[in-house]
A and B are shown apart, each in its own frame.
Chain A
């Protein structure tokens, strides 16, 4: 099945709205959708919802032979499945461009950043190691699959426990969970992705894009970050080049977001652990019964004003109030996190304008002229916030950018040599990713 074509008027409407600081679902430009995590009955299974985007992750393991180059390390394999359930135009079993892109981004975030202690997965050197497989089944595609997949992969990895083994006469014996307590995974750091979409020739960035925004945007920007504000992966796809100022801005916010998400994952894991210790029922069935995995009609509205409440002011159901009360806390926490250095200066009918404490840093740079004094801004940034990691982050990004540009120029050269009928943009993008 073909994807529903996007009409010119939808395209215009979204770009116009974004320029007016207006998003169709009533979010602010830098606001992410609510994230919820539920764990299944088995170890290493997690259902993560980012707004209406839903991903199911399951980690599994089996014994295998290690690579000859790394004889004492386990192997991780990440598989992303985009089936018809996620969106009608996806086809299961076929590697689409999007599939490869998500897979590669996740591999860079999780494998290349070496967050999993692979040596702990070794059973006997050069003979047997654990081979981990992370299966990500996308259930519903409402935009920003990468973020959702990364959180799902992280939660599943943290939730997973592999069976214990013992070696008797050179024979590996795998113990069942009843015999020996399974062993949790060892992770050095917890990376997640945060995505932005760029509009208006790269002058404007919006966080956590919806499907429509993703399709209309000029380019997409994905950060893979861990909770220590360390960059694991940076991906720039699309046509426009970003001003480095905006890039740094996004990175700073993405780092905050990553911290928030990782904290949330830890919190939910703790709750799950507690529930299991008390021998309460766990698993998706329990979540359904407690109405944890729910499609609230109010959250369904694809077009939405900022303050809109479906049930007016009076007859808000107790149940919903109860359900959300816990999450609201979390949300407010997030807001605190993201908006600490800012204050809301004015709220007019159209939007609240956020202004930074740092006078010359704006979320949306006015013109490209700002670019010339990035350096000064960076340094100011550091002095004002007094945060050493901020500086390291910007350096990391610059490094990545340099790498990126080098790669690009190399690619351009090689391409010239190879083909004159250079392929379409999409092809190009795929190459960057690979």
Chain B
């Protein structure tokens, strides 16, 4: 499920206008919960997830690893018991986060990530990964890099659409989730479903890579807010205004 590739070359055609590189509005509140070590309420468009993390904490003996921390992820759907699909999501999120974490620094411990679905209006996996990354960032666990997930689909007219909303996704032919690291924007995870052509995959990847910059910029802004030390911002520091959802410069001219 998780592929780690290095130095994926960016499609030289790169002729997407900034119109294409638009994500839905991103909003986030840090530490809405008090009992977990860190938490984030992350929304992208109308999709909303609550993520929290604990760690490093006590490890169960069956998960004990003397080399590195055990990473676990629990995904809770809003209604009903977790389905196979939810278990699959759990695994994708866990593997993705584990690759970003420096687990060797905390052997014989658990780092646990909990995801609670609040509103699912398309792209919940990407939203969950971004939320989990923010929770890990403020939870103070050592990480190699930050990660940003972007959701992309091939719609019914065979067009690649970046971060679609609920309505646009009706009748989609394929959907992709790309996760990039913050260092070289290398792919960390690709998760696809449906049928698509290789060219569409490449297009989707390039668009997502460019759009991931929006999310990385958002991380930096919100973390800066979080660490500002003043009472006047004490209440606002956990919240954030919307992110710039469009990449302003022409990031494709790499």
Contacts and interface: CB of A to CB of B under 8 A. Distances in A.
A293 B238 CA distance: 11
Contact of B231 (A142, A285, A289, A310): A310
Interface stretch (A38-46, A182-190, A230-238, A240-248): A38-46
Contact of B27 (A140, A288, A319): A288
Interface stretch (A78-86, A103-111, A347-355): A78-86
A88 B50 contact: no
A147 B242 CA distance: 34
Given A56-B118, A137-B76, A317-B232, A300 B50 contact: no
B35 interface: yes
Most buried by B among A59, A295, A296, A317: A295
A285 B27 contact: yes
A139 interface: yes
Interface stretch (B52-60, B94-102, B149-157, B172-180): B52-60
Nearest to B32: A295
A142 B33 CA distance: 10
Given A283-B48, A311-B231, A291 B33 contact: no
B90 to A, nearest CB: 11
Interface string B169-198: 000000000000000000000000000000
Interface string A324-344: 000000000000000000000
Contact-size category for B: 35 or more
Interface in B36-74: 36, 39, 41, 43, 45-48, 50, 52, 54, 57-58, 74
Contacts of B231: 310-311, 315
Contact of B238 (A42, A133, A295): A295
B89 interface: no
Given A45-B78, A60-B80, A297-B235, A284 B29 contact: no
A86 B35 contact: yes
Nearest to A51: B34
Most buried by A among B34, B74, B78, B118: B118
B45 A294 contact: no
Contact-size category for A: 35 or more
Contact of B121 (A41, A300, A315): A41
A284 B118 contact: yes
Contacts of B32: 54, 140, 293-295
Contacts of A317: 232, 235
Interface string B223-242: 00000000110111111001
Contacts, number: 140
A168 B134 CA distance: 51
Contact of A92 (B45, B74, B234): B74
A392 B83 CA distance: 47
A320 interface: yes
B35 A40 contact: no
Contacts of A288: 27-29, 41, 43, 48, 239
A157 to B, nearest CB: 13
A143 to B, nearest CB: 11
Given A284-B48, A285-B45, A84 B54 contact: yes
B54 A300 contact: no
Contacts of A60: 79-80
A52 interface: yes
B26 to A, nearest CB: 10
Interface in A85-124: 85-88, 92
Interface of B: 25, 27-29, 31-36, 39, 41, 43, 45-48, 50, 52, 54, 57-58, 74, 76, 78-80, 112, 114, 116, 118-119, 121, 231-232, 234-239, 242
21 contacts: A40-B78, A40-B119, A54-B33, A56-B116, A84-B114, A85-B36, A140-B32, A140-B36, A281-B46, A283-B121, A284-B43, A284-B118, A285-B47, A288-B41, A288-B48, A289-B242, A291-B239, A294-B29, A295-B33, A317-B235, A319-B236
What 5 A-B pairs are tightest by C-beta distance, nearest first? A60-B79, A297-B234, A85-B114, A284-B48, A285-B43
Interface of A: 1-2, 40-42, 45, 47, 52, 54, 56, 58-60, 81, 83-88, 92, 133, 135, 137, 139-142, 281, 283-285, 288-289, 291, 293-298, 300, 310-311, 315, 317, 319-320
